[in-house]
Amino acid sequence: MDTEHITVGILSPSPETREQLRIVLGSTKLRSSVVEVEQYCIGSEDPSFQRIVEANPQVIIIDMHAAEAGLLTLQVLHDALPGTWLFVVSESNDAPLIIKTMQAGAREFLLMPLTAAALTEALARYYGERAKIGRIKETGKIYCVTSAKGGAGTTSVAVNLAVAIASARGTKSALLDLGTPVGDVAEYLNLKPRFSIADALNSAAHLDPVLLESYISRSSGVSVMPGYREFHPDPFVPETLGRIFRVFNESYTHTFVDLACSQDYGQMQIAAEYSTSILVVLTPELPALWRTDRLIRLFEKTGGIDRLLLIVNRSSKNREISIREIEKTLGRRVFWSLPNNYPAAIHAVNSGKPLVSFNHSSLASSYFELGQALTGVPLKQKRRTLFGS
């Protein structure tokens, strides 16, 4: 970690807590100067507020012993010092309190008694983020996976593509679940997440890569933003959704979005604006063709039609509707055809393991091939050895 001089503010009404934090900070072996503040900042006229704003420290550690006053202090300091990292220390790891502090502007939530190791890790993240400032950072790519009809397999496609890309070197793969009225990605991966998209949306005004990271779950090498856990039929607010997309773009090389089967104009317009490609998944049946045709017309109005790719799922030579007939009906070329293997697909869902992580069927191979064709990332499916079999 960088050893340059750093100014740290310590804000706590408790002399014992201030002393403890000072000792822990000293044990990190950083060259630092400390600004101690004894009172919470509940307004810009407070002497404590004026003192810490004049010092303009790079990091401020705020004691959340008095939660209400601490949250107000967070909001006041976040507005006054937007470039300062606000660390929160608390003896409670209550989830609602963590969410409230993050929404108020905290970048780190640290448990008391604070250890030198925990503070060092938090400061290392601060230095890492600061090092990115001023550098041109290549943004990632977003792939929205949607369908005009429920049951087409969009969640399976998004999950397996994200896991396949995560297996390649140099990638940082993410899954964003925008399913409504509830999300399914967490269940497909057998996750029991602490946070969900609802928390990220509520914090959208302050959302950045660090705050996003605190809401993320992980599975199979993929960073997962789980969808709604409670019934939520309303579409996403376009401006808020746009902010979510931007932060994912900054944070990951490849983000796969399980986009709700919706024809909300604003939502689709945002998806079209931020997506590298829009994968429209359909099954070879007439109702799916009718609805897909209408969805294509919607994208012609909202934009993104040039990035729209048709993915036929559960394709089979025995199907009455062929790929050629689908292309003729919709007036668009089919980008990829995933073979039908319902037993393997449903086994993967019921086991909570992505098909590409353990199965070696033609369907699993097709996901790897689709991932490579879609992203340009070289992908190689791991083969089972004799002992692995």
What are the tens digits of pLDDT across the range 253-305? 999 999 987 657 788 888 889 999 999 999 999 999 999 999 999 888 888 89
Q: What is the pLDDT of residues 2-17, one digit of tens each?
A: 456 788 999 999 999 9
Helix axis angle, 238-251 to 265-274, nearest 10°: 20
Dmax over CA atoms of the chain, in Å, equals 78
Identify whether the C-beta of residue 245 lies closer than 8 Å to the C-beta of residue 304.
no
For the chain, which domains are there?
6-132 (3.40.50.2300), 141-375 (3.40.50.300)
Element (H, E) at 98: helix 95-104
Can you give the length of the chain in residues?
A: 389
pLDDT, the chain, mean = 88
Model-wide pTM > 0.75: no
| Per-residue confidence (pLDDT) for residue 92, from 0 to 100 | 92
pLDDT of 136 over the 50 cut: no
Cα separation, 130 vs 135, in Å, equals: 10
| Residue 233 pLDDT | 74
